[in-house]
Amino acid sequence: MSLSCILVSKKKKLSCILILCQSSLLVSWPSWCAALELNLDACVLDAIGSMRPANAGGAVIVDEVHRSLGKFVDRDIGYVDLPSLVLWALEELDRVSTERQDKSSDFLSSLKLHPQIAETKIAWLAKLFLLEPFFPVRSHDTLFHAMLLFSKHHRLNVIPVVESVNSSVDGFVTQNAVMELLLQSSGLEWLDKIADKQLSVFRFANASKPVLVYSDEIVAYAFGVLSKEKTGVAVIDRKTRRLIGMIQCSDVYLLLDDSSLFSNRKIMSAEEFVKLKNKDDKCSTEHSSESEGQSVPSLRSRVQQPVVTHRRSDTLKQAMENLAASGSSCSFIVDEQGHVEGVVAPRDIISVFSPPCMDSRIDGGTFFSAALEQAGCRVENGQIIRNT
């Protein structure tokens, strides 16, 4: 028996809790459009050259499968996002630039001067774990299905949506979209009972260690740190150690669009980059609505606020609302002096509301724990059992 059947049959008042569980993922997007695909033998230059003009934040990696094996072998290998490719290429370019003077003015021109980097196959990058796993869902699958995937697979940043085995990817479920759907239940007891708690009571708020760079360090170094951490990097003042901004993976589009920024990345400070980024975001506000509602992640998906901050006394719901509104990859917990104490990522929030399992590292008080308790059920050995 499914969880929804158990809970609804036990207590009718829990039916409102299960609205999201019974809702399909299709309601997340008003329209669908096919995702960009790349062959496994494509090279880095071709991949970036395909994604950038399409304003695609990533692409599905596919491999040719013989028709007779189509029912047994998946054609979809994984997913690669454009920021990861650009960050890897930047790191390689900075490594070889010490050996050879690079006078090219833009990123793609510089990449073409180094075929050992530009012609690297996507398949080879899988050895560096740059490809995300491919765990698809169907449009009629539940929101909690996606939440469970996000909370248990930490390398998974987007979830492909397909209609059948080996069919084209119609769209993606993003972590921010999951938060937005959860917030639709704001005001209901089941969500507010958890979301109205202060951040300080949650394990992730106390255990997370933010990644920091000083404001006077160069942009190239900040992106080098970002390529290893894959989370937002907090830019702090060296003297006061106060937070002045952040740099995240999606900011790489500035290096692709602005040749002067790319060529000056080794002399421009992180603080100067943050100010330039904030100015660019304000100027591009009028174009942000074009990509809203798209089912395929775009490189310039929305205008992002300079930096999202919280206090430990703020509620989880406040963090959810601010992250969802900003489209940021994370927010920072700061004290009264503006010193960074922690970081909050969408995955941390999703894990709080995800189903329990035998190997769960989530602390108590989650949605499913509360729902099961109200329904008179418990989890034993990975199975839901009704109390006698």
In the numeric block, which tokens belong to residue 90?
A: 């930047």
Please identify every stretch of the chain with a pLDDT value under 50, giving residue numbers as ranges.
1-23, 26-32, 68-70, 72, 285-294, 302-303, 357-365
pLDDT of residue 209: 86
pLDDT of residue 164: 75
Distance CA 246, CA 232 (A): 6
pLDDT of residue 30: 34
CATH no. of 3-384: 3.10.580.10
Q: Are 276 and 254 in contact (CB under 8 A)?
A: yes
pLDDT of residue 260: 92
pLDDT of residue 99: 52
Domain boundaries, the chain: 3-384
pTM of the model as a whole:
0.79
